[in-house]
Structure 1
Amino acid sequence: MAETAAKRLKTSPVSIGTHNGHFHADEALAVYMLRLLPTYNSSQLIRTRDPALLSTCHTVVDVGGEYNAATNRYDHHQRTFTTTFPSRPTKLSSAGLVYMHFGKAIIAQHLGVSEDAEEVNVIYGKIYESFIEALDAHDNGISAYDPKGIAAAGLEKKFSDGGFSLGAMVSRLNPNWNDPTPSDPVQAQQAEDEKFLVASARMGEEFSRDLDYYTKAWLPARDIVHKAYAKRLEYDAKGRVLVFDGQSVPWKDHLYTLEEQEGGDAKVLYVLYPEKPTLDAKWRIQAVPVSKDSFESRKPLPEAWRGFRDEELSEKSGVSGGVFVHAAGFIGGNKTFDGAIAMAIKALDL
């Protein structure tokens, strides 16, 4: 889909249209993503709600009441709009629309490979789920949890976390209601546009940082996790202990995906890795969370070990070389691999 869109574009400078007034994270990111591609790199930005001006733009995002990839129109506000990213339930915003059509071209350009490369497809889905989808939901007023379910359970938030979202960050970059405004309409629009470009660059920094992470760190880690997962039965007959021989890598996403693909009830409970890639390194033992972003572990390290260090820990655990076990039980350490694996195996049955 993205390849078709990319081929359709001309090589001459083009203009991108979006609405003026209060700006949001989705169109700020949409404009940034487009400008990553050669065709849009030197594009002119036109922020207006005037249909006549928008009709002159090569590409229009988040305004205009039309979604038509054939004419490069990417609005999502029309009543009939229900489009979602493939295999995802969240209605798209302008960020999601631009990413759906141009994301593969952006990723392929970053990797220096063709758009049909297998790694492009893997990262394409991952970045949408980990980054873009939350922006789509925020802009469309979709809650992460079912409000009726939360109300029925009697759950209340303990504090406000609204200020920590990217949407809130962009909102703060808008002019305040009582900020001085130039009396000349052209100068006033220029001042507003400058603030929008700051927001677009800020969103772009986060997107590019994610793109860098998933292409340069997350993807190379996948093979390492796969190899460790294949060897897990060497340490425990039920495969509940995963060991990284050289050094730790980002493993949670890959582990959960492997477990889901394999099915069955057996899950990895502890992950072992050296603190640094040297022969004399101490070893860590980490309890696997119930989900990627959870603070709850599938099986925390034994309560009797928690909060103890060094000789006291060795005495409590019955395993020499103890370094520490966190008071919450989600991580611990030993001076050697043999000690760490002994702690893991012992913890399985406690």
Structure 2
Amino acid sequence: MSEPSSKRLKMADGTAAPVIGTHNGHFHADEALAVYLLRLLPDYQNAQLVRTRDPELLKDCTIVVDVGGVHDDALRRYDHHQREFNATFPGKHTKLSSAGLVWMHYGKKIISTVTGLDVDSADAELLYQKLYEDLIEAFDANDNGISVYDPQELRKAGIEKKLNDKGFSLASVVGRYNHAPITPLVDAVSSNGAPPAAAKTEKTQDEEDARFQRASTFVGEQFSLELSDKFTSWLPARAVVARAFNSRTALDPSGRIIVIPHRPEGVPWSDHLYALEEENGCAGQVLYALFAENGEPNSKWRIRAVSLEPGSFENRKALPEAWRGVRDEDLSKVSGVPGAIFVHAGGFIGGNQTFEGALEMAKKAVEI
């Protein structure tokens, strides 16, 4: 993988294959993802990878990420370590890493290549923004030492961690590939059950490059899963949730309850709800979402309390405390609504035998 330019591969037409350059030595999640992203583009699908800090070798690379001290799109150089670098993704404040730089300059082309969407379409723009917010910005923040919360403010507030997660993240998993044994212990167990020999840990350049490729494949799979989910599920759900949002007062004049139509593939609704509220100047208005368990006419219905913010375990308004942990007839009695099935002890979800019952439970919960 780290061959000098004189040994560059040839394309089918006889021209030299493009070369992606990055640094050798200890690698990080950002350049592992940057290289994967570039290889999604037709121009770099068959590119060689050169991992080096030698300026002469980097000079001959077609494109360079995370090394070289230059950010210049015209020259296809994407480093972020230089003192004067302060670029951010449009509308964001997180300083970019090589992953964010590649996404900023090539993200829409990557989306178009993978999904077939027109590169200038509104849907491509939505995915471009969403993939950065939900995945790539975390790579940028990690590589630049930016925490989700200000550590000093947390200490001043006396907030302590409830468990030791050792900073577990995609980036920390990538870090393991730098030090993992060449042959993992569980794979080294001999067929007769004898203890394996000591695992080799020395690293030649070829071994280091192979580790990098494993790391790049790993983060690339996470990106692929994220893009696939957003394109096939999240994006189509936007129109479904918008219709539900715009018609929410038809069943409940307060606008505090939204009914999510059933779709076999599911409807990831919460992100779109937050966005629609912001766009319509009513952030935080919707308290409960109703949805059927299945598409059958006699389906049971669920009531879901809307989270305070995306991914939060806190709710804008949990279901009433007196209902929590109560089931069936007991719940029907305490709630005053026939057909009640359950309310979770955490108050974030409940159920009823019918849509009408679920709606009545939600309406009562709004008022309590």
The reply on whether 1:90 has 2:94 as its aligned counterpart is: yes
CA distance in 2, matches of 1:217, 1:246: 13
1:315 pairs with one of 311, 333, 355: 333
Structure 2 residue matching 1:113: 3-state secondary structure: coil
Amino acid corresponding to residue 106 of structure 2 in structure 1: F
Match in the other structure for 1:226: 242
User: Do the aligned residues in 1 keep the contact of 2:63 with 2:76 (CA within 8 Å)?
Assistant: yes
1:289 pairs with one of 295, 307, 310: 307
Match in the other structure for 2:187: none
Query: 5+ residue gaps in structure 1?
Result: 1-10, 183-187
Q: CA deviation at 1:66?
A: 0.8
Q: CA deviation at 1:52?
A: 1.0
CA distance in 2, matches of 1:168, 1:162: 9
Written as runs of structure 1 = structure 2, the 5 A alignment for 1:209-288 is 209-247=225-263, 249-264=267-282, 267-288=285-306
Written as runs of structure 1 = structure 2, the 5 A alignment for 1:98-247 is 98-162=102-166, 164-175=168-179, 179-181=200-202, 188-247=204-263
Residue by residue over 1:19-46, the C-alpha shift from the partner in whole angstroms, topping out at 9 and shown as x without a partner, is: 1111110000000000001110110000
User: Do the aligned residues in 2 keep the contact of 1:175 with 1:192 (CA within 8 Å)?
Assistant: no
Match in the other structure for 2:184: none
Amino acid corresponding to residue 180 of structure 1 in structure 2: T
> TM-score, normalization: structure 2?
0.88
User: Do the aligned residues in 2 keep the contact of 1:238 with 1:266 (CA within 8 Å)?
Assistant: no
Q: CA deviation at 1:58?
A: 0.6
Q: Percent identity?
A: 55
Residue by residue over 1:83-103, the C-alpha shift from the partner in whole angstroms, topping out at 9 and shown as x without a partner, is: 000000000000000000110
Amino acid corresponding to residue 302 of structure 2 in structure 1: R
CA distance in 1, matches of 2:17, 2:339: 65
Q: CA deviation at 1:266?
A: 6.2
Structure 2 residue matching 1:271: 3-state secondary structure: strand
Say what the alpha-carbon RMSD is for the aligned residues.
1.5
User: Do the aligned residues in 2 keep the contact of 1:163 with 1:169 (CA within 8 Å)?
Assistant: no
The reply on whether 1:326 has 2:344 as its aligned counterpart is: yes
2:74 pairs with one of 70, 86, 94: 70
CA distance in 2, matches of 1:159, 1:52: 48
107 and 266 in structure 1: CA distance in 2 versus 1, 3 angstrom threshold: closer
Amino acid corresponding to residue 251 of structure 2 in structure 1: Y
Residue by residue over 1:292-338, the C-alpha shift from the partner in whole angstroms, topping out at 9 and shown as x without a partner, is: 11111111001111001111111111111111100010000001101
Amino acid corresponding to residue 168 of structure 2 in structure 1: F
> TM-score, normalization: structure 1?
0.93
User: Do the aligned residues in 1 keep the contact of 2:117 with 2:123 (CA within 8 Å)?
Assistant: no
Number of residues paired by the alignment? 335
CA distance in 1, matches of 2:56, 2:284: 61
> Runs of 4 or more off by more than 4 Å in structure 1?
176-179
